[in-house]
Structure 1
Amino acid sequence: MSVIVVIKQWFKRKFNTWLTKQVPKSQQQVLSRRNIFIFPSKFGFSYLFFVLLLFILGTNYQNNLIILLSYLLVSVFITAMLQSFNNLLKLSISVKTQQLFGFADSPINIPVLLSTTKIRIAYQLFFQSTHITQPQDFSTDTMCLIPVVLKKRGLGILPRLTVQSYYGFGLFRCWTSVDLNTSVLVYPKPEKPAQIDIEKFLSTNANDVSTDHLSEVLTTQNGVDEFNELIPYKSGESLGKVAWKHVARGQGWYSKNYDQLLDSTPNWLSLSALPQAPVEQQLRWLCYLIIELQKREKVFGLILPTNTISPDQGSLHHHICLKEIALYGQ
């Protein structure tokens, strides 16, 4: 490791320590003189060099017009600095949701609310990545979806959000780096197990009946198999379901409601049913299978060494299972 790399790492640690004290964690940050930083941009330094060159030429040749022009350019530079700082001043930044989740190695859109009472110009917002959102000229509350990519599964902490602006001729970079003190539940990256026939695997798990966890049950849903009851007819329903005998007797318009019998034998997902592999790889496979069962609207349960989730279906059950494998072993 070179000396330059060591110096950069040392400087970065010192700066992060100072930044933590200067801009502490908070779910809502209001920008002020304490947490706004401003420094000339590359173009700003070039501008200063040009102004300095003009001043030296003016004094060397005793040309008052050139000296006056250099003074004018300096006043523009100072005005741009004040305008750039004022562009960020009193801007409120917050995350308004408590349920943030997504998959590892995939962009997770974080809803960031920008609140202001005056017109703002040309912001850039990003979570230490190349994904940048740049709202233009807003003067009310604005919701921005800022993507962030987290590598590890589990309960992750959002990195610092950088808000910057080059407003004012691009002479200054005015920025802040805030910690919104928000966590994100990161699910494992779903991966399709190449060595598993999905159809065969799900069929095998559905037929593998365990007296501890599984029993075949029959449930009903609206269908066409067995008559259930009469319900008031609604305009637009199929006339084939109308109880015409009741209509002929003058007893009103009713529709026949039927129930369909379903075999709701659940699929059981577990680490032991998967091929031998590192645990992290098995969890990625489980994540894929859970998503696949959810898409097919199947009933499924999850068996882990630390917990067992009873068979169910639906979006809530889907997220409960994903949360369980996301936090497994942590």
Structure 2
Amino acid sequence: MTFHFRSRLASRLRCAAAFALALGAGGAAQAAGWPDKPVTLVVPYSAGGPTDVVARLLAVPMGRSLGQIVVVENTVGAGGTIAPARVARARADGHTILIHHMGMATAPALYRKLPYDPLKDFEYIGQVLDVPMTLLSRKDFPASTFPELLDYVKKNQDKVSLANAGTGAVSQLCGMLFMHQAGVKLTTVPYKGAGPAMNDLMGGQVDLLCDQTTQTVPVIQDGKRAKVFGVTTLKRQPTLPQIPTLDEQGFKGFDVKVWHGMYTPRGTPQEALAALNKALNAALQDATVKQRIAELSSELATPDKATPEGLRKHLEAEVARWDKVIKAAGVTAE
């Protein structure tokens, strides 16, 4: 009996030691008592869309750092404003966090009655990455080059449809700037997320879509499901060197880059914020994350940007920038 008891005890001790080692970098956070349950990472858009892709890529290495599972939840609706409202009202203990793109900066100008204040109702974890966009069409669209596209939409603007991922989505903002610079008004078709919009573009149900490279690079590289007319940054992208920018094709100054940040409710303890920021930065240094983000022609935030202060300052500047652009365009979400 004594032998069997000692054997079972030794086995249990080995299991406990293995579990402690598995927590790795999350040990410090666990020792301090946080997190004591899985962390929920809320995404404002549908599964399979660009922001969702980023969230799921970061969730695993962040979970390793925290010593808890990071569960991705898609809370879709109202142009990406339901998710921030949910997180703003969540218990401020660090177990509910938000990843959002520049929609956090554009919502105040788009919505007359926004149920949260991006600058007052959140704590900031840090910036995540910048994502270029690309302008695509269905594979059998009449135009094949950007000059041909401009000529066609100007002559047929009442017949051309422009998809977006919903009100307030960056695809809507990119499309809005495209129409403004081209001097046309196309038929806009909003979807509940970038994934459904892309599916309908490839299926030939809509004509045009401006979307993030996190979703479009595989489609472009395939070369059979859609046409690409250019990237929205001022410089060509390393993973798409053959694709010219809209700027170099005549749309001078056209520069749309989708930045992402992570947030948690106002009042979250500093202990939790510090652990979340550490986990975010660990994820940004993860080899798999770096390789995948590079493949998607995106750029991870530098250490000075991946901080609470870095995100706060950037958000403030972006709120002011887009307030002018949206008001000048006369666009509202209501």
TM-score (norm 2): 0.28
Greater C-alpha radius of gyration: 1
Q: Which has the higher strand share?
A: 1
Q: Which has the higher helix share?
A: 2
* Higher-RCO chain (CA-CA 8 Å, sequence separation at least 6): 2
TM-score (norm 1): 0.28
